[in-house]
Structures are given as structure tokens and as C-alpha cells.
């Protein structure tokens, strides 16, 4: 893999990733006249729930569903306005988000607490948010990228995880993809993101707490026990030599898969070359099953659950959550009173039925 780092007109980093020997030099210059990036993010502590909330009001002006001929993720080509990517073609490209929720250059001057709320502690919105563009082809979908491009994408996620983990103050690195307008995607071009947080997100904290509690109560290893049970259970959808995809027994979403490696590793950089190739194969297979489950497109979120940068790395087990809000043709699962109001999920589907449906999906 060839990694080429450049700068955009406003100073943001852009990194091109290409398969070895398959690209011309990445030397195109961003000719746009861009104002400096200004990030005014803040973090506030929710004392009741014990978690941080980010505030990034400057993101209200970000680009929203532009027509294809004005897509900022397409290559810069003659006859069209310059985009975020100066090159005329690319394979995978990563750049700092201009409308970032978190930034390393955020204003550090933040009051210690919210007005009139001494328990709502405040911190600068430190971190980094990157956009990962999967292909220069605006009209392709991730399910059709093929194993070679998906393998490059796995290597890119691993590289960005290593790079962002090295930033002082970063505690968690989260690669993810939102797919489909129903999910809230604001750009139709195939892409994902990577967030580097200065704290551990609540899901990570809860998993670590469950692991510690299980060990104290039983002496066992919760993640190892769950993986072993699911790999031999009735909800396995697909598997290869190094990975298994299954519907979790307590799935929250109408359609949900979790992809676990057979070898315990904390994060994507720890995977071997063979494991990365096998992941690209099974990830593509899983996306295909989602894409063809119904006659209409399946929205989804692909969320990488990696180990924290510093804490609990020996206890963690890397895995991918792939889930959709679609529960039936023309019907979405809305997070209404029970889910949004009190955090108690009620599912409209059966995990065992969903596993059988996905197993028998063909294309």
C-alpha cells in the first residue's frame, strides 16, 4: 500500500492510499480559496448518565445532499468546480473533515462548567474527525466494491487507527460508515468516517464494565465465552477461516450482524495480512446480504468496536457491528418512546429468524 500525505488549501491534511505501483504521483494542488477552518466544539459532562456530550453548532452549515455534479467527494476534473480531492482520480482517500465535530486545533478557552450547572463540567472539543472516501466512482455502493478495494479499505482503517491513536489526548478511535439517506447521510458518494475521541464512548465503558463484572462473578472471560457460543450457535450467517458473522442473541436492531475474528486481537492494526484479506471477503459478503435482503436498498451503519487506546486492551476483542433500521419493505424501526426516552429497546424481529433470512439471501 502506498500512502501519500498532502495539504488542502486551508491546511487540512489529505492522505491518498493506493495499491502498490498502481497510481501516478499524487501531486495535484488544491486551488480553492478557502477560509481557515474554525472549530468551536465543546464537551459537556452529563452527571446523571456519566457520559460526555459533544456540541458542534458550527456543523449546521455543512453541505447537505448536493446534486451529483456538485459532490465534494468526487475527484477534481475539468469542467466541474474543484472538490475536496484535488486529484483527477483516486482509490481511497482520507482527509480531515472541514465541518469537524472534534479537532486538535479547537479553542482551549472553555469555562469549567455550563452556565448555572456546576455538575455539567466542560472541556474543549479536542479530537479529530476524518472522512474516508472508498472510491472515486460516485455511483458505486460499498457492497459492489469487490475484495481488492475492500482489502485496501481494511488497511486504510488500520493505518488511520494507528495514526490517530498516536495523538496525545486521544483515548478511542472509531471507524464507521453511515449508508443511506434514512440513516442521515448528507453526501451520497460512498464514504465513511473515523472519529478520534478524548474519552471512552459509553458503549465501550459498558462492555468493559460487563467484562469486569463477569470475571468477578464467574472467573470467566465474557468476550471469549460469547464468541465461542455464537460461533457454534443457530445465528451464524457466514464464516471463513478467520472470521464469523452472526446475528447476536440480544440484537437491538431489526437486522444486525456482528463480525468477530477467531483470534483475539484488540484492534484493526493487530490483524495479520491473512486476517485482513479474510475480513474483506466476509465484510463484502455481509454487505451483499444486506443489500439484497429486500427489493429496496438497505440502509445500515457499520461500526468498528476497537479496544481503547490505553485501557482494557488485553480484555478487548475487536468486532464489527453491521445493523439496519429497516424492519420490512417500506418500513423503518423508529427509536420512539421506549428506546429514545428511556433506553429500553424493543425489537420487531427475532434474531433467529433474521439469521435464517440472511443465510438464505442470494445475489
| Residue where one domain finishes, among candidates 201, 225, 247 | 201
Q: Are residues 207 and 194 in the same domain?
A: no
d(C-alpha 23, C-alpha 21), whole Å: 6
pTM of the model: 0.97
Nine cell digits for residue 112: 469549567
Rounded Cα distance between 318 and 157, Å, is 13
- Cα 42 to Cα 88: distance, rounded to the nearest angstrom: 36
H-helix or E-strand spanning residue 147: helix 147-165
Of 71, 340, 40, 327, nearest to 186 by C-alpha is 71
Q: Which residue, 201, 232, 251, sits at the end of a domain?
A: 201
| Residues 185 and 212 both lie in one domain | no
Query: Which helix (H) or strand (E) covers residue 121, if one does?
Result: strand 117-124
**pLDDT given at position 62:** 81
pLDDT at 311: 96
Q: Do 35 and 167 reside in the same domain of the chain?
A: yes
The answer on 127 and 9 residing in a single domain is yes
| 191 counts as catalytic | yes
Q: Are residues 283 and 154 in the same domain?
A: no
CATH code at position 234: 3.30.428.10
Claim to verify: residue 217 and residue 151 sit in the same structural domain: no
Q: What pLDDT digit, counting tens, does each position of 32-79 carry? A: 999 988 888 999 999 999 999 999 988 877 888 899 999 999 999 999
Given a cut of 50, the residues of the chain with pLDDT beneath it are none
Same domain, 219 and 166: no
Range of the domain at 179: 2-201
Does 172 share its domain with 305?
no
User: Which residue, of 172, 201, 230, is where some domain finishes?
Assistant: 201
Check whether residue 79 and residue 189 sit in a common domain.
yes
Q: Indicate whether 42 and 81 sit together in one domain.
A: yes
* Cα gap 107→39, rounded to integer Å: 7
Active-site choice (179, 191, 242, 319): 191
Shared-domain flag, residues 288 and 162: no
Q: What is the pLDDT of residue 40?
A: 84
Q: What angle do CA 279, 280, 282 make, to 5 degrees?
A: 65
Q: Say what the pLDDT of residue 23 is.
A: 75
Q: How many domains does the chain have?
A: 2
Say if residue 192 is in the same domain as residue 241. Answer: no
Q: What's the order of all strands across the beta sheet hosting 236-239? A: 2-7, 13-18, 92-96, 128-133, 191-197, 172-179, 300-305, 319-324, 255-261, 243-246, 236-239
Amino acid at each position: 500500500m502506498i500512502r501519500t500525505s498532502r495539504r488542502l488549501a486551508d491546511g487540512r491534511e489529505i492522505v491518498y492510499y493506493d495499491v502498490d505501483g498502481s497510481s501516478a504521483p499524487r501531486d495535484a494542488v488544491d486551488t480553492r480559496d478557502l477560509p481557515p477552518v474554525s472549530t468551536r466544539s465543546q464537551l459537556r459532562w452529563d452527571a446523571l448518565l456519566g457520559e460526555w456530550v459533544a456540541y458542534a453548532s458550527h456543523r449546521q452549515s455543512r453541505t447537505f445532499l448536493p446534486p451529483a455534479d456538485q459532490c465534494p467527494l468526487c475527484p477534481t476534473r475539468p469542467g466541474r468546480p474543484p472538490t475536496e480531492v484535488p486529484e483527477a482520480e483516486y482509490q481511497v482517500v482520507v482527509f480531515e473533515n472541514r465541518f469537524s465535530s472534534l479537532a486538535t486545533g479547537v479553542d482551549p478557552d472553555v469555562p469549567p462548567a455550563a452556565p448555572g450547572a456546576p455538575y455539567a463540567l466542560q472541556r474543549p472539543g479536542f479530537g479529530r474527525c476524518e472522512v474516508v472516501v472508498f472510491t472515486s466512482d460516485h455511483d458505486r455502493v460499498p457492497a459492489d466494491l469487490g475484495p481488492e478495494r475492500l482489502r485496501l479499505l481494511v488497511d486504510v482503517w488500520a493505518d488511520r487507527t494507528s495514526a490517530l491513536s498516536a495523538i496525545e489526548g486521544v483515548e478511542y478511535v472509531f471507524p464507521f460508515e453511515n449508508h443511506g439517506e434514512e440513516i442521515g447521510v448528507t453526501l451520497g458518494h460512498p464514504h465513511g468516517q473515523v472519529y478520534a475521541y478524548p474519552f471512552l464512548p459509553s458503549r465501550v465503558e459498558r462492555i468493559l464494565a460487563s467484562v469486569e463484572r463477569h470475571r468477578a462473578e464467574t472467573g470467566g472471560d465474557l468476550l471469549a465465552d460469547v464468541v465461542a457460543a455464537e460461533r457454534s450457535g443457530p445465528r451464524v450467517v457466514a464464516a471463513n477461516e478467520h472470521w464469523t458473522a452472526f446475528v447476536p442473541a440480544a440484537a437491538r436492531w431489526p437486522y444486525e450482524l456482528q463480525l468477530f475474528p477467531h483470534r483475539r486481537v484488540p484492534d484493526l492494526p493487530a490483524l495479520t495480512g491473512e486476517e485482513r484479506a479474510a475480513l474483506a471477503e466476509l465484510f463484502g459478503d455481509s454487505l451483499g446480504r444486506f443489500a439484497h435482503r429486500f427489493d429496496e436498498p438497505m440502509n445500515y451503519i457499520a461500526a468498528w468496536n476497537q479496544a481503547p487506546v490505553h485501557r482494557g486492551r488485553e480484555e478487548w476483542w475487536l468486532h464489527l457491528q453491521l445493523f439496519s433500521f429497516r424492519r420490512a419493505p417500506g418500513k423503518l424501526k423508529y427509536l420512539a418512546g421506549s428506546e429514545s426516552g428511556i433506553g429500553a429497546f424493543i425489537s420487531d424481529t427475532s434474531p433467529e429468524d433474521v439469521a435464517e433470512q440472511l443465510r438464505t439471501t442470494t445475489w
